[in-house]
Structure 1
Amino acid sequence: MTATNPNPRRSLITKIHIARTQLGMDDESYRANLAHYGNGKTSSTDMTIPELETVLEAFKKLGFKPVKKPGKGRLSPSSKQGPQDERSAIRAIWIFMHRAGFINDGSETALNSWVQRMTAQQNGGAGINEVQWLRGEDAAKTLNSLKRWARRCLFEDLKKRGYEPHPQDSYAYLLKRWERINGAML
């Protein structure tokens, strides 16, 4: 999903002002360039979008180099930055379930789809699209749902292997028991 610019004119004006600063233009030369490339207009706010685009292209030819700010990447469980909260635990359990073979797709996209379905059920139809947007009660409920799912998967897997886990065994206990049996696998 890409964000669309709701006001391309404002964006062009901002870029022109950045170009002016980057090129070190004083007010007189800046306005002279605007007049030359902008059909005689000496203020960027008076220009149309095509005129602004022409001025911006001219500034690029004069040496302006637009710099894109790096976008914020998604946080992963191994990330050294960002919150160490329910969202990190959700990602860690999701990755574990994928590595253990309980789910087919361990990607962030698949996790986001699952989060959206779970939060839509909890919030009466309006789901949260990204795990990174989970906060407070939504994050806690989503984490608990994922733990219950993982617990069911662990319980069933242990039963298939001939072990008889107790129905009241916690997620943590089942996980430890499962890891003892499958430790080398992960």
Structure 2
Amino acid sequence: MNRNPALAKIHIAKKELALDDDTYRAMLQSIAGVSSSKDLTVAGVNKVLAHLKRCGWKPKTAAKTGKRPSVGRDRKALMDKVEALLAEAKRPWAYADAMAKRMFTVDKVDWLDAEQLQKLVAALTYDAKRHGRDMR
């Protein structure tokens, strides 16, 4: 288990439960026997996270697919193709955004022009063929 994400969850829970520093450190001491989260073992991290969940903290899950960008009619067919290729590959919209950033230094897919979208579709099609996905 990587400790850093788990420690981050503990600090997020601390903030969301509005624990002041004294209360937080007292909780760490009573649950795991330490006064600082940096001293927690993996078992201690798990105990603290379980305790915070019992206290009412509900971890938020990240959105898996993201929001489909809105585009004009002239680019709708290309964006539909991008969406279909992403769905076939089980990849989120963030993947297409990352490709747009890498290929064109444009942060979002919905900011691409029609020519750039065609190139993105070609790259996603090439990726699908490379990974053996049916392109019919």
TM-score (norm 2): 0.56
The reply to whether residue 53 of structure 1 matches residue 29 of structure 2 is no
Question: Which amino acid in the other structure matches residue 78 of structure 2?
Answer: I
Q: Secondary structure at the match of 1:64?
A: coil
Are the equivalent residues in 2 in contact too, given 1:89–1:143 (CA < 8 A)?
no
5+ residue gaps in structure 1?
1-6, 76-80, 96-106, 114-129, 145-186
Following superposition, the deviation at residue 55 of structure 1 comes to 0.4
The two structures, once aligned, show a CA RMSD in angstroms of: 3.8
Aligned to 1:20: 14
Q: Which is higher, the Rg of structure 1 or of structure 2?
A: 1
Aligned to 2:4: 10
Q: Secondary structure at the match of 2:19?
A: coil
5+ residue gaps in structure 2?
90-94, 105-114, 123-136
Question: Which amino acid in the other structure matches residue 108 of structure 1?
Answer: A
The reply to whether residue 41 of structure 1 matches residue 34 of structure 2 is yes
User: Which of the two has greater helix per residue?
Assistant: 2
**Does 1 or 2 have the higher relative contact order (CA < 8 Å, sep 6+)?**
2
The reply to whether residue 90 of structure 1 matches residue 90 of structure 2 is no
User: Aligned equivalents of 2:17 and 2:10: distance in 1?
Assistant: 10
CA distance 1:28–1:140, change in 2 (3 Å):
same
Following superposition, the deviation at residue 9 of structure 1 comes to 1.1
| Number of corresponding residues | 105
Q: Secondary structure at the match of 1:34?
A: helix
Following superposition, the deviation at residue 44 of structure 1 comes to 0.7
Following superposition, the deviation at residue 51 of structure 1 comes to 0.8
Identity between Structure 1 and Structure 2 (%): 28
User: Aligned equivalents of 2:87 and 2:56: distance in 1?
Assistant: 44
